Structure 1
């Protein structure tokens, strides 16, 4: 088959995808799918449609990388999935073509940079959490039950009030109440 299928995206209905369509058609795409959606949106029906239409040997063509992926990791995941399916990828503006050795090299460099960025973020997060713990911060949400509400729940339970009624009176979930009651028994 070896068809070139195009994908275009504009963020708002005020924007005109004609520039992208013209470039994709000039590149040899026989059909172009277009979404009007923010790049951060996960729901892009025309992207899903073009991905379904692609067959091994075909190439997905975009005008620019930012028209396809929400983020670099998302873009890399998407293009890797295409490669696993035997589908090429081409970005006209960045002149990336994964069907060529040079295009594959550039793409893998993007992947390495994305992995490096991910590891840095993970490292900084871990260091920040350790520093907070060293200062006495535990983290997480504050407890739903204050000590006074906890005492009230235990007293109500001793008086034979059902767990459901106690939870309703205190404005808490039953599972929270059960954890409190079992913690009191274990203590």
Structure 2
């Protein structure tokens, strides 16, 4: 039996394209979700997986409809394989009912994992190079050294903290973080 699964990221998107492809592939049952792939809880996917039995084939339109993360995808397909369930991705041309299909899936998964690791390496190298040049990542600080000096001066002149924060364009907690009351006499 072929059981299909379709997913779109939001309620206003349409599943027709995926359903048509799943019907054409021969799926007798189809399940769906209308929510982002980020969500771990996908009732339609859980329902589809609960209907699968040994020698069934789980069919999807495209790999990215199943999940965003490679490890999760490989784990899911591995679990299906353990349970004697085949996997098919229509658009990606993956069909684990044959040894060549299983090999192709694992090669694709390995290449995707390598690309992810190379991306992480490049990112780390770029951050280290920037750090050596004195650049620091993250958001720019709202309290510059001149603002801190101005705040201390205004607070010493007994200007209310709310007005000081408003004049400097910062929140009161930010003002207190940079000019704690314990440092003011």
TM-score normalized by the length of structure 1: 0.65
What displacement does 1:35 show? Answer: 6.1
Q: Deviations over 1:54-75 (max 9, x none)?
A: 2263642124435x2465xx25
1:172 counterpart residue number: 170
* Alpha-carbon distance in 1 for matches of 2:57, 2:102: 14
Is there any run of 5+ residues in structure 1 with no aligned partner, and where? none
Structure 1 residues 79-98: aligned runs within 5 Å: 79-81=74-76, 83-84=78-79, 86=83, 88-93=86-91, 94-97=93-96
Task: Select 1:158's aligned residue among 151, 156, 159.
Answer: 156
Please say if residues 5 and 50 of structure 1, whose CA atoms lie closer than 8 Å, have aligned partners that are also in contact. no
1:49 counterpart residue number: 43
1:126 counterpart residue number: 124
Task: Select 2:139's aligned residue among 125, 138, 141.
Answer: 141
Q: Deviations over 1:57-104 (max 9, x none)?
A: 3642124435x2465xx255135235447465322451322x665544
Q: Deviations over 1:114-144 (max 9, x none)?
A: 2211111111111112222233323322220
* Alpha-carbon distance in 2 for matches of 1:168, 1:88: 63
**Which stretch shows the higher mean deviation, 82-91 or 49-58?**
82-91
* Alpha-carbon distance in 2 for matches of 1:14, 1:111: 26
* Alpha-carbon distance in 2 for matches of 1:104, 1:18: 24
TM-score normalized by the length of structure 2: 0.66
Is there any run of 5+ residues in structure 2 with no aligned partner, and where? none
CA RMSD of aligned residues (A): 3.8
